[in-house]
Amino acid sequence: MSLFQNIVIILILIAGAGFLSLTEIALAGARKVKLKILAESGDVRAQKVLDLQENSADFFAASQIGLNAVAILGGILGEGAFRPYIAEFVSRIYDGPWTENISFALSFTLVTSLFILFADLMPKRLAMIAPEKISVAVINPIQIFIKICKPLAWIINAIANLLFRLFKVNTIRDDNITFADISAVMDAGAQAGVLQKQEHHFIENVFELEERNVPSSMTTRENVVFFTLTEAEDSIRQKLAQYPYSKFLVCNENIDQVIGYVDAKDILVRILNNQKINQLNESTIRNVLMIPDTLTLSELLDRFRSSKEKFAVVINEYALVVGVITLSDIMITVMGDWVTPMEEDQQIFKRDADSWLIEGSTPIEDMKHALGIDEMPDEENYETLAGFMMYKLRKIPRPADIVIHAGYKFEVVDVDHFKIDQLLVTRLLQDHKESETSDSEE
């Protein structure tokens, strides 16, 4: 054959190998979620791609048969076609015993480079750009190719399956989507501008409901406002006026003797009807939902839905009340500042670009979001920033106690009756962070 004919054949082989490489990466990288959307919109080809992904053994066997056959044939034809011309060129520069070897090496390098560039590298990079679009476009011709290679592919697959069973290799693809997968997609969407920063934050918070425990969002024991059965009318009126709550606990003598709760609306009705409001009875007091402090916020949402309640009392393992929580508290956890009035005292106050004043009762998850910290050590052992300090210091903190973690210095500023009221958190300088090898406490 002439040089022109050889070149044409090699170009055809490169095109065939490039098509198979393009198809292989596109079908492997096509995302099922997007393909299902295309299939539901009426694209029959998308459903064919999904079916092929479910039974991909025949395709990959056929693809490898085609790729290897084309590569071997291309090498044989290319080396034989180009070597005489390359040998003639080399002999003009060097005419010696190594001429044939040099010609062979140059022709082999030329053909291999052409196949690598145009039959492998470029098609695969193109396939990664839009795998779903390409896989849908090539599915019909590739199915024909699979049928042609079916007999040989069956033999190869049978041998491969036998070897997999022999070495106990699981060949079933795991398509379960984890939170990490969804989080990665959300991050990519935020970087591309598809998701706004606030929307990204909302979605992250929704998934965190499964990990965050009730104490991270509840109103703590010392901040719970409650009535007793013998509460004076003036005291009840004062509490109603002072605290903007819609529900109040009713206890016998102290907060650990919970009887139920009253709705502020019911008390207002009694006031409008000129009835005494300090005579709390069964018609006024409602049964309260009691929950353990080990529940996650996601589990609490299920309890609220099943009980039709929006208010619960949180108790610990010793049956002591540790706080109360409402459906609004969970919504605040998800929505953040969008449902929290900005004029109210905030738990996290940013002083400047590298320092924050943070209340000790701030939930760890909120602090992590504010500071951009991915992980805290042994998070299962505490719920708040104060708990983190006590866990790391292994003592009751005092003012000026310091813990260093993740490039931040946490310094206790104010302590009230052994309770950490406020901390100063400072971002450390880069050289300090580089020299830090582990958490330190002072």
Q: What is the pLDDT of residues 243-284, one digit of tens each?
A: 888 899 999 889 999 999 998 888 888 878 777 776 666 667
Sorting pLDDT into bands at 50, 70 and 90, what band is 435?
very low
The average pLDDT across 34-38 equals 90
Query: Which pLDDT value is given to residue 141?
Result: 93
Q: Do 79 and 130 share a domain, yes or no? A: yes
Q: Is there a domain that residue 106 lies in?
A: yes
Angle subtended at Cα 383 by Cα 379 and Cα 385, rounded to the nearest 5 degrees = 90
Average pLDDT, the chain: 84
Per-residue model confidence as pLDDT tens digits over 360-384: 888 888 888 888 888 888 888 888 8
Structural domain tally of the chain? 4
Domain boundary residue, one of 153, 186, 208? 208
Q: Is there a domain that residue 439 lies in?
A: no
Query: Taking 60 as the threshold, does the pLDDT of residue 345 lie above it?
Result: no
What's this model's pTM, rounded to 2 decimal places? 0.54
Residue % of the chain over a pLDDT of 90: 30
Do 311 and 218 contact (CB within 8 A), yes or no?
A: no
Q: Is there a domain that residue 436 lies in?
A: no
Query: Taking 70 as the threshold, does the pLDDT of residue 4 lie above it?
Result: yes
Q: Do 9 and 83 share a domain, yes or no? A: yes
| Distances 314 to 138, 213, 216, 378 between C-alpha atoms, Å | 59, 11, 12, 23
For residue 391, give the CATH number of its domain: 3.30.465.10
Q: Do 118 and 193 share a domain, yes or no? A: no
Phi/psi of residue 192, nearest 5 degrees: -80, -10
Distance CA 411, CA 423 (A): 5
Range of the domain at 291: 213-333
The average pLDDT across 81-102 equals 82
Q: Do 138 and 179 share a domain, yes or no? A: no
Query: Which pLDDT value is given to residue 217?
Result: 86
Query: Which pLDDT value is given to residue 336?
Result: 63
Q: Do 71 and 42 share a domain, yes or no? A: yes
Distance CA 101, CA 34 (A): 52
Q: Do 97 and 181 share a domain, yes or no? A: no
Q: Do 179 and 254 share a domain, yes or no? A: no
Nearest CA among 146, 188, 173 for reference residue 58: 146
Q: Do 196 and 253 share a domain, yes or no? A: no
Q: Do 39 and 179 share a domain, yes or no? A: no
Query: Which of 17-21, 45-49, 141-145, 336-340 is predicted least confidently?
Result: 336-340
Do 215 and 383 contact (CB within 8 A), yes or no?
A: yes
Query: Which pLDDT value is given to residue 253?
Result: 86
Per-residue model confidence as pLDDT tens digits over 190-206: 676 666 666 666 777 77
Phi/psi of residue 434, nearest 5 degrees: -70, -30
Q: Do 192 and 322 share a domain, yes or no? A: no
Query: Taking 70 as the threshold, does the pLDDT of residue 415 lie above it?
Result: yes
Query: Which pLDDT value is given to residue 266?
Result: 84
Q: Do 196 and 269 share a domain, yes or no? A: no
Query: Which pLDDT value is given to residue 190?
Result: 65
